Structure 1
Amino acid sequence: MTQVTDHGGGVRSIRVPIPDNPLGHTLVYLADTDAGPVLVDTGWDDPASWDTLVRGITACGTAVEEIHGVVVTHHHPDHHGLSGRVREASGAWIAMHAADAAIVRRTRETRPEGWFGYMAAKLEASGAPEEHIAPLRGTHRSVRRTGTLPGFSPALPDREIVPGELLPLPGRRLRAIWTPGHTPGHVCLHLEETHPDRLPGNGRLFSGDHLLPRITPHIGLYEDPDTHGRPVHANGIEGLGEIADPLGDYLDSLERVGRLGPAEVLPAHQHAFTDAPSRVAELLAHHEERLTGLLALLSVPLTPWQLAERMEWNRPWADIPHGSRNIAVSEAEAHIRRLVKLGRAEAVTDSDPVTYVAV
C-alpha cells in the first residue's frame, strides 16, 4: 500500500522502499511549484521502488510525466537512484551540489574492477585481515571477466545546486544550505516560508541524511576510487584544498543548521520532527562522547580495523556482516582523522599498516 503523507503547504512525502535494508524506506518529497511538481530525492533504483514512487506521485494528484525537476540532497543510491528514470519519464532536470556531482561523474567513468580494487587496497591499509579482503579480490576478478558491475549507474545531474542561493522554483523560496559530512556535497534545503500550521521557528528544512530524528548518520571518509587510497580533499576533488575531515565538516554543518532554527525538519528517513536545535545538541554531544571514548582505546597503538573492532556498535562485532564492517572501519577512520586534526592523536612512525595512538 502506497504511503503518502500531506505535510501541508503543497508538500507531500512518499515512502519509497529500500530493498533488504534496515532503514526500510526513503522519504521522497513532492513540492508543488508554479512550474510543476518538484521532487526532493527519488529513492533506490529497484523495480518495486519505482512502482511505489509512481503510485505515490499519482496519489499526490499528479503524474510522473509531469515532474518538473529533481533536487538531490546527496549522491547515495537511496536518494539519487531513481533520478534518471524520473528524467526519462518526464524530461525533468536533476540538480546536485558540485562536489557530489563530481563523485557521480567519477563513478560512471571508473571501470567496475576499479571500485573493488580500491576497496581492497583501502581495507588492507586499514589493517583488515586477508580473510575479510579476499571476497573483494574475488569480486574484482569476476567483474574483470564479465565486465559487469552489480548495482546502479547514477544519472548525471544537469544543474548545479549553489550553496546559499535560492533554487529557481517559481512560487517557492527554497534555499540551498551546504552541509558536508555524510557526503562532501550533501545539501539541506531551507523552505523559507511560513509553516502551514504556524509553528514557531524559521520555515521548514528538507534535511536529507544530515539531521534525522533518532539515527546518527554514518560519517566515514569520503571515498573515491580515482585517488587509489590517497586522502580525498575538503571540496571532494582530489588534489585541491586541505585533506578532508568529514566528521569536522559534519559537526560544523550541524551547528549551522542548529542556528537556523527551523520550525520543522523533513528528513529523508523515519519521520518529520520539531526542535532541531535540541536534536543538533544531542548529536554534538554524542560525537564528543565517542571521540573521548576512542582516545581511551588509543592509549595503545591500534590500526583503524582494530579500533573498529573495539568500538561500540548496535551489535557485537562478530555479528556485524561483511559490508557493514567496511562502513564501520570507514567511520573509525573518520573519527581518527578528526582526532589527528585536533592534535589529540597521531600516526605511529613507520607502522605498517599504520597505527594511531593518543597524545
Structure 2
Amino acid sequence: MTQVYDHGGGVRSLQVPIPDNPLGHTLVYVVDTDRGPVLIDTGWDDPASWDALAEGLTACGTSPEEIHGVVITHHHPDHHGLSGQVREASGAWIAMHEADGAIVRRARSTRPERWLTYMSAKLAAAGAPEDHLAPLRAARPRSVPGLAPALPDREIVPGELLALPGRRLRAIWTPGHTPGHVCLHLEEAHPGRLPGHGRLFSGDHLLPEITPHIGLYEDPDDATVTDPLGDYLDSLERVGRLAPAEVLPAHQHAFTDAASRVRELLTHHEDRLTGLLTLLTEPLTPWQLAERMEWNRPWAQIPYGSRNIAVSEAEAHLRRLVKLGRAEAVAGSEPVTYMAV
C-alpha cells in the first residue's frame, strides 16, 4: 500500500517510488482547493510509480481523474515525470517556472544525438579520461532518457500567489538545484499551531538530512558562464528569512526550524569551498578535483552516471571559487586546470 500521511489543513503526502534509486521515493503533496485537489510534483514516469500515485490518491478520497492542477517545483523526472499522465487522465493544468519550462521545451526539441555530443564535449573539456568518454560516444541515441517531458501550460511567477481557489500559496524562486526551482509558501496558519509563518513546500531546495546536488545548468546552445552554487546560497538565505513553521520537502520527511537547517547548509558549502582550495594548491581539471573530493563513497565505487553528476558539482564549486576570486584558470591549459589564488 502507498504510504499516505495527513499533514492537516487539507494537505497530505504520498510516497511515490523512484525505481532503482537510493532516494527511494518522492513525496507528492495533495493540496485541497475549492476547485479540487492540486498536486505538488507527481513522481517518476514508471508504471509502478503511477500505480502508487493512483493508489495514494484513492486513499485520500480522490483519483487521478479528479486532479485540478499540478504545480512542479522543478523539471527533474522524479518530480515532473508523471505530470503528462495526470493531465491526460484529468485535464489538469501544469505550472512550472519559466526557466525550467525552457529546459523542458529544449529537451523535447533537441535530437538525442545533440545531447550525446554535447555531454561528451563537456566531459572532455572537464578532463574526463577516454575510457569514460567512449561509452557516451558509442551510445545509441534512443538510450537517452527524459527527452519528452510534459510541456507546462501555466507559468509560475515568483512572488505571486498561485491560482488555487481557497488557498494562499505563494511562489518563491530558489534557483541552484535547477535554474527554475521554486519553493511554495503556504501562507496559512499552521494546523498544529506551530510557531512560524505558514508551511513551505521546499522541493529539493531544502531537505532535512541531504545536501541537494548543485551542478551546472546544461544548455547546448548557451555559452553563458552561470554560477549555480552562488544562486543556491542566495536562495537559501531567502528561504531562511521566511521562517516557516514547518518544511514539507520532496524527499525524506517534514521538519521544523528551517533557519537552523539553512545555516547548516551554508556552513557545509563554505567548509567545502575551503577544503577544495587545499586541493587546488596544484593545477587540477574539474575531473581530477572530483576524484579527490569527499563523496558518500570512494571514487572507485561511484557508478558511471553518478561520476558525471559529481564532475558537474565539482565544476559548480570551481565556478563559485573563481567568481569569489579565490581560484583561477591556468592560462593555456587544455583541458583547463584551476589553482587556488
TM-score, normalization by structure 2: 0.99
Match of 2:181 among 180, 186, 190: 186
Match status 1:7 vs 2:2: no
Q: Distance in 2 between matches of 1:2 and 1:128?
A: 41
Q: Deviations over 1:165-204 (max 9, x none)?
A: 0001110000000000000000000000000000000000
1:350 match = 332
Residues 106 and 226 in structure 1, CA contact (< 8 A), matched pair in contact too? no
Q: Distance in 2 between matches of 1:35 and 1:163?
A: 23
Percent of residue pairs bearing the same amino acid type: 82
Residues 77 and 146 in structure 2, CA contact (< 8 A), matched pair in contact too? no
Aligned-residue offset at 1:150? 3.9
Aligned-residue offset at 1:82? 0.3
Residues 45 and 152 in structure 1, CA contact (< 8 A), matched pair in contact too? no
1:1-359 counterparts in 2 under 5 A? 1-139=1-139, 142-143=140-141, 149-151=144-146, 153-227=148-222, 230-231=223-224, 243-359=225-341
Amino acid at match of 1:38: V
Say what the alpha-carbon RMSD is for the aligned residues.
Answer: 0.9
Q: Distance in 2 between matches of 1:335 and 1:354?
A: 15
Q: Distance in 2 between matches of 1:132 and 1:245?
A: 26
Q: Deviations over 1:331-359 (max 9, x none)?
A: 00000000000000000101000000010
Secondary structure in structure 2 of the residue aligned to 1:39 = strand
Q: Distance in 2 between matches of 1:154 and 1:44?
A: 11
Residues 2 and 52 in structure 2, CA contact (< 8 A), matched pair in contact too? yes
Aligned-residue offset at 1:127? 0.2
Aligned-residue offset at 1:221? 0.8
1:234 match = none
Runs (4 or more) in structure 1 with deviation over 2 Å come to 147-152
Aligned-residue offset at 1:152? 5.2
Residues 125 and 336 in structure 2, CA contact (< 8 A), matched pair in contact too? yes
Q: Distance in 1 between matches of 2:146 and 2:101?
A: 18
Distance change (3 Å), C-alpha of 1:333 and 1:148: closer
Residues 108 and 147 in structure 2, CA contact (< 8 A), matched pair in contact too? no
Amino acid at match of 1:220: G
Aligned-residue offset at 1:291? 0.1
Structure 1 regions of 5+ residues with no counterpart? 232-242
Q: Distance in 2 between matches of 1:150 and 1:176?
A: 29
Aligned-residue offset at 1:148? 6.3
Residues 107 and 147 in structure 2, CA contact (< 8 A), matched pair in contact too? no
Residues 177 and 215 in structure 2, CA contact (< 8 A), matched pair in contact too? yes
Aligned-residue offset at 1:115? 1.2
Q: Deviations over 1:66-108 (max 9, x none)?
A: 1000000000000000000000000000000000000000000
Residues 120 and 136 in structure 1, CA contact (< 8 A), matched pair in contact too? yes
Residues 177 and 205 in structure 2, CA contact (< 8 A), matched pair in contact too? yes
Structure 2 regions of 5+ residues with no counterpart? none
Q: Distance in 2 between matches of 1:126 and 1:148?
A: 23
Q: Distance in 1 between matches of 2:159 and 2:265?
A: 24
Q: Distance in 1 between matches of 2:299 and 2:289?
A: 11
Distance change (3 Å), C-alpha of 1:331 and 1:148: closer
Q: Distance in 2 between matches of 1:117 and 1:49?
A: 31
Q: Distance in 1 between matches of 2:244 and 2:298?
A: 37
Amino acid at match of 2:46: D
TM-score, normalization by structure 1: 0.94
Q: Distance in 2 between matches of 1:6 and 1:133?
A: 47
Secondary structure in structure 1 of the residue aligned to 2:272 = helix
